[in-house]
Amino acid sequence: MSEINSIANGTFVLGNTSATTYQAGNGISITQPSEGTVRISNDETVLWSGELKYGSTNVPLSEAITNFERIRVITYNGIIQEYYTANLTEYFTLSTSVYDSSSNWIKHIAVALRNYNSNLYYQYNRVNQNTSYWNNVNDTSTWIIKVVGINRISGSNT
């Protein structure tokens, strides 16, 4: 009966937990903040969300992208790209293709982003449809709605 009570009040220990080794896959963090406590969490941090599009000046990120192994950039229409932060220069490009049903063409999209002092700047965009080019367009395919930091680098801000 004491086992049932310890389960109910959260003090039940299953076996020898000090000899247990925990492993996690990508994007999962396992920590042991105190003896007998194991914390399992998603190792991702939303650095910014909103609408970053042509004509926007910049958006402040909650912390520097260099605090993370990589970042995930998500556009309005669901395009997701990940970048290893060690490979990023001050400027980097989100580039992709989407089908435009209104024109029956493929849009080749390039957006130059600038990371500077924990701000993300939307520098430039270009859309290519068939043989036509449009620069500096307000196209939802190029709007960025979220930037996520993945796998915090040890020793960086928490």
Residue ranges of domains in the chain: 2-42, 44-152
- What pTM was computed for the model? 0.68
The count of other CB atoms within 10 Å of the CB of residue 113 is 21
101-128: average pLDDT: 80
Fill in the DSSP letter of residue 86. G
Query: How far is it, in rounded angstroms, from Cα 75 to Cα 33?
Result: 36
Cα separation, 72 vs 65, in Å, equals 10
Q: For residues 102-108, give the mean pLDDT.
A: 78
Choose between 83 and 18: higher pLDDT. Answer: 83
Confidence grade of residue 26 (pLDDT, cut at 50, 70, 90): low
Distance of CA 121 to the CA centre of its chain: 16
SS3 153: coil
Tell me the two tokens of residue 134: 């449009």
pLDDT beyond 60 at 5:
no
Q: How large a percentage of the chain has pLDDT more than 70?
A: 79
Which amino acid is located at 29 in the chain? S
Distance CA 143, CA 111 (A): 9
Which two tokens mark 124? 């430039």
* Beta carbons of 98 and 106 less than 8 angstroms apart: yes
Q: Band of the pLDDT at 105, cuts 50, 70, 90?
A: confident
pLDDT in tens, 38-85: 777 668 899 999 988 888 778 899 998 888 999 999 988 888 889 888
Here the tokens at position 40 are 């399992």
158 pLDDT above the threshold of 60: no
- The closest of 101, 97, 108, 111 to 144, measured between CA atoms, is 111
Over 90: is that where the pLDDT of 23 sits? Answer: no
